[in-house]
Amino acid sequence: MALNTAVNRNAALHSQNDARAAFTLVELLIVIGIIAALIAILLPAVSRVREHARRTACLSNLRTLGQCMVMYANAYNGRLPNGNGPQMTIDYDGANQVMTDFNTTYVNEPAVFWCPSSRRVAPTSIDTADPELDNSARVSYDFYFLYWEPEDGPVITRLQSDTPLAWDLDGGEPSSPLQNHGSSGGNVVFADIHAQWQDRSEWDDVNWPHAAAQYYPYP
What is the number of structural domains in the chain?
Answer: 1
Q: What is the pLDDT of residue 7?
A: 43
Q: Is 50 a member of any domain?
A: no
* 174 preceded by a cis bond (ω within 30 of 0): no
Q: Is 135 a member of any domain?
A: yes
Q: Is 23 a member of any domain?
A: no
Q: Is 41 a member of any domain?
A: no
Instruction: Answer for the pair 176, 170: CB distance below 8 angstroms, yes or no.
Output: yes
This prediction has a pTM of 0.79
pLDDT, tens digit (0-9, with 9 covering 90-100), for 66-102: 999 999 999 999 999 999 999 999 999 999 999 999 9
Instruction: Answer for the pair 193, 166: CB distance below 8 angstroms, yes or no.
Output: no
Q: Give the pLDDT band (50/70/90) at residue 6.
A: very low
Q: Which domain holds residue 151?
A: 59-215
Q: Is 141 a member of any domain?
A: yes
DSSP notation for 8-49? HHHHHHHHHHHHHHHHHHHHHHHHHHHHHHHHHHHHHHHHHH
Q: Is 108 a member of any domain?
A: yes
Q: Is 78 a member of any domain?
A: yes
Return the half-sphere exposure (C-beta side, CA atoms, 13 A cut-off) of residue 1.
Answer: 0
Quickly list H helices, the chain: 2-75, 92-102, 212-215
Q: Is 201 a member of any domain?
A: yes
